[in-house]
């Protein structure tokens, strides 16, 4: 039987699904090698200093609020995680903003995010390190 090679994953840690996969691999301790890629190099207004279209931003924030409403009312009203009593990969998509606290007025979602962080430990912060660095850099410029 041939020896198993480590899984090779290509991740852009600015992408929430990529961060979720990074956390999953760290928590399961599956042997893997991470290759960092920049899928959106030059396309993010926050990174390029380009102005954000207000109408586009307001539409995106409105959609986000609708999604957060559904998470609260449909999934987290009676259970600690999105799919029940145990954490799943769906929970790893917990929103982590790069400067905007989208859960600020949502205590139910804040508690869910805290449970997710506690369940995955350091893997959460490791996966979000790039996002935190960008947030800190942007704050320092203000």
Question: How high is the pLDDT of residue 1?
Answer: 46
Q: Would you place residue 43 in the very low, low, confident or very high pLDDT band (cuts 50, 70, 90)? A: very low
Tokens of 48: 């390029």
Question: How high is the pLDDT of residue 101?
Answer: 83
Percent of the chain at pLDDT exceeding 90: 38
Closest CA to 86 of 66, 106, 115: 115
Q: What is the arithmetic mean of pLDDT over 100-123?
A: 92
Is residue 42 predicted with pLDDT exceeding 70? no
Question: How high is the pLDDT of residue 16?
Answer: 86
Is residue 95 predicted with pLDDT exceeding 70? yes
pTM over 0.75: no
**pLDDT, tens digit (0-9, with 9 covering 90-100), for 19-35:** 999 999 999 988 889 88
Neighbours of 26 (CB within 10 A): 18
CA separation for the pair 24, 18 (Å, rounded): 10
Q: Which residues contact 37 (CB under 8 A, 6 or more apart)?
A: 10, 11, 12
**pLDDT, tens digit (0-9, with 9 covering 90-100), for 65-92:** 999 999 999 999 999 999 999 999 999 8
pLDDT, averaged across the chain: 85
Q: Would you place residue 51 in the very low, low, confident or very high pLDDT band (cuts 50, 70, 90)? A: confident
What 3-state DSSP class applies to 33?
strand
Helix (H) or strand (E) holding 35: strand 32-36
């Amino acid at each position: 039987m041939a020896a198993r090679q480590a899984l090779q994953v290509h991740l852009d840690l600015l992408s929430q699904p990529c961060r979720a996969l990074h956390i999953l691999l760290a928590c399961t301790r599956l042997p893997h090698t991470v290759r960092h890629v920049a899928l959106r190099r030059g396309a993010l207004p926050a990174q390029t200093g380009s102005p954000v279209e207000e109408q586009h931003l307001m539409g995106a924030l409105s959609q986000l609020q609708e999604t957060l409403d559904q998470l609260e009312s449909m999934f987290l009203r009676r259970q600690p995680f999105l799919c029940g009593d145990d954490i799943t990969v769906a929970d790893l998509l917990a929103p982590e903003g790069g400067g905007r606290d989208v859960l600020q007025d949502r205590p139910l979602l804040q508690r869910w995010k805290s449970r997710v962080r506690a369940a995955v430990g350091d893997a959460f912060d490791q996966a979000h390190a790039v996002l935190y660095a960008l947030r800190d850099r942007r704050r320092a410029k203000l």
